[in-house]
Amino acid sequence: MVKRIAVIEKEKCNPSGCGDFLCMRVCPINRTGEECIVKGDVGKPVIYENMCTGCGICPNRCPYDAISIINLPSELDNEPIHKYGENGFHLFNLPIPIFGKVVGILGKNGIGKSTALKILAGMLKPNFGKEEAGWDELIAYFKGTEAQLYFEKVKKEEIVISYKPQQVELIPKTAKGTVYETLSKVDERGEIDRIIEELDLINVKDRTLDQLSGGELQRVAIGATVLKKANLYVFDEPTSFLDIKQRIKVSKFIRSLADADTAVLVVEHDLIILDFMTDLIHIMYGKEQVYGVVSHPLSTKTGINVYLDGYLKDGNIRFRDSKLKFEKRLAFQEGEKEMLTSWSGIIKKFGTFNLKATAGEVHRKDVIGVLGENGIGKTSFVKILAEEEKADSGKVDIKVKVSYKPQYIDSSSNVLVANLLKEAMKYKNQIIIPLNVSGLLMRQINQLSGGELQRVAIALCLSREADLYLFDEPSAYLDVEQRLLISKVIKDFMEMKGKTAIVVDHDLLFIDYLSDKVMVFEGEPALHGEVHGPFGMQEGMNKFLEDLGMSFRRDPESKRPRANKLNSQLDQKQKKADKLYYV
């Protein structure tokens, strides 16, 4: 028999807006006089799963897209580990921390990662889809596996968790004081000075939290997590806002935490970094806000390839219709594109920071990725192109109108998304539908998650009239699939409108997927920056990686780039041939 679940997203459901419980009126079982959908206690409908035939009428008719009826793969005939009430979100299985290893979790947003982490931390008692269950049931469920050992420790209260939350930009809203004061308060190890040094926080240790950049806040949050004495460290997206150098450094730092008494779990969407940082991964699949399934642990290499493939051999489960593909790049050709603007000999001093741009031009329909460390003048340079800032010397040929999506998005306003995106509604097929923001229109900005806010901000930026669209870290808080999706939306929009996009991001794979050219910013953060390019992808990536001292190979199966181990045979060979990326 097919196992079917019916989930109603309560925050979307609006019985008075649909003409008084439309779903109840259209359900063929209800129409025969039986009760399949009934009015629940909290003024929302309840669907009895055992009565539902899965005809698909109610999810199709609900004007708020609040109902999902899912036929689960036959492998999921076990009860869920946890269910949020009647017709609520279902979570199947759990990721398992392993002492001495860094275990990654890879999956879409909204499919139960936080629920799983809360259960692992002992903060949420799993209920196995019933009213109540206990640790003993969980221990019995995982009998004979690593998880049994782990939950025995949870039961005996021997697991102490330290958790780094996802949205670090919210930290200054709740914590006050300087970096040093903040870290001192949580320093159970007495290692504050070492951690400050390892995480490059010396220069900002006397600054207050509200004066920090996103990358600095991220490192403070990681520092605070590690200073607590724990035996399970959980990092929810530890590399957002960090530049690539910092990402690699933080990855090594996180790896070093795992030992015989300490387990580490990481949720990360930058695949190059996930690959670099973890020993094993669990894939999570399912439907956002409806159900989530955690796979068995897989080796990181296999797990990432399986994820891109969308197919789990073990269980014969296809969890995505299409594969996520990375192709070899063809040699770059400029073609006949019309020039948008050009610059030469730009020099600009911002306080103690000096910016230099020799010469370059951008064309209509270009999508240009920008690579470089944080604090090296990327945003300032675009402001010069828009003549919002005047260069001390040199010239910009044509002033361009710029639409800008900032790195940090203010999430405090109570404005309705629909009001903010009025202009974007003109581009329903180009912006609203592909960015999947239709379901967010009736929500307030301050009710959105990090990923939802990011998609709204991208939609808003695209909806403004401009020549040049600048996106600062559009990948932050988006999962892998959303990252690839917004790449396509940005590319298609520039092509359709004959406009140009400049995208600053530190996820190399995302930049590779999105851009036709790259600009490379070199220099020293907060001191000086030099703008090079735009170059063709191969030339630009080589230039960038040369400075970083890294090389990448292609995974033969998925064609995704993987970082070579420093000084490995392949690393040396590629460096000698000056082919640091596209081999």
User: Contact positions toward ligand SF4, by CB under 6 A?
Assistant: 8, 13-15, 18, 21-23, 27-29, 36-37, 45, 47, 52-58, 62, 64, 66-67, 69
Query: CA nearest 274: which of 251, 241, 249?
Result: 251
Dihedrals phi, psi of 410, to nearest 5 degrees = -70, 120
Q: Provide, rounded to whole angstroms, the least separation between the CB of residue 470 and ligand SF4.
A: 39
Query: CA nearest 410: which of 378, 454, 471, 367?
Result: 454
Dihedrals phi, psi of 19, to nearest 5 degrees = 85, 40
- In the numeric block, which tokens belong to residue 143? 């009998």
Q: Provide, rounded to whole angstroms, the least separation between the CB of residue 58 and ligand SF4.
A: 3
DSSP string, 131-152: S---HHHHHHHTTTSHHHHHHH
Q: Provide, rounded to whole angstroms, the least separation between the CB of residue 1 and ligand SF4.
A: 15
Identify which of residues 69 and 106 has a Cβ nearer to ligand SF4 in the complex.
69
Identify which of residues 28 and 498 has a Cβ nearer to ligand SF4 in the complex.
28
Residue ranges with strand state E in 332-466 = 339-350, 353-363, 367-371, 393-396, 402-405
Identify which of residues 45 and 122 has a Cβ nearer to ligand SF4 in the complex.
45
- Classify 100 in phi/psi space as left (phi over 0), alpha (psi -120 to 50) or beta: left
Q: How far apart are CA 237 and CA 104, in angstroms?
A: 10
Identify which of residues 67 and 468 has a Cβ nearer to ligand SF4 in the complex.
67
Q: Provide, rounded to whole angstroms, the least separation between the CB of residue 335 and ligand SF4.
A: 49
Q: Provide, rounded to whole angstroms, the least separation between the CB of residue 69 and ligand SF4.
A: 5
Q: Provide, rounded to whole angstroms, the least separation between the CB of residue 176 and ligand SF4.
A: 42
CA distances from 173 to 96, 164, 217, 226, 446 (A): 32, 16, 12, 21, 13
Q: Provide, rounded to whole angstroms, the least separation between the CB of residue 63 and ligand SF4.
A: 6
Identify which of residues 70 and 462 has a Cβ nearer to ligand SF4 in the complex.
70
Count of CB atoms situated within 10 Å of the CB of 414: 8
Question: Which alpha helices (DSSP H) does 228-281 contain, by range?
Answer: 244-255, 271-277
Identify which of residues 28 and 100 has a Cβ nearer to ligand SF4 in the complex.
28
Identify which of residues 15 and 536 has a Cβ nearer to ligand SF4 in the complex.
15
Q: How far apart are CA 189 and CA 10, in angstroms?
A: 44
Identify which of residues 13 and 440 has a Cβ nearer to ligand SF4 in the complex.
13
Q: Provide, rounded to whole angstroms, the least separation between the CB of residue 82 and ligand SF4.
A: 23
Identify which of residues 40 and 394 has a Cβ nearer to ligand SF4 in the complex.
40
What is the SS3 assignment for 442?
Answer: coil
Task: For residue 543, give every residue at least 6 positions away whose Cβ sits within 8 Å of its Cβ, in sequence order, or none.
Answer: 520, 532, 533, 535
Q: Provide, rounded to whole angstroms, the least separation between the CB of residue 370 and ligand SF4.
A: 44
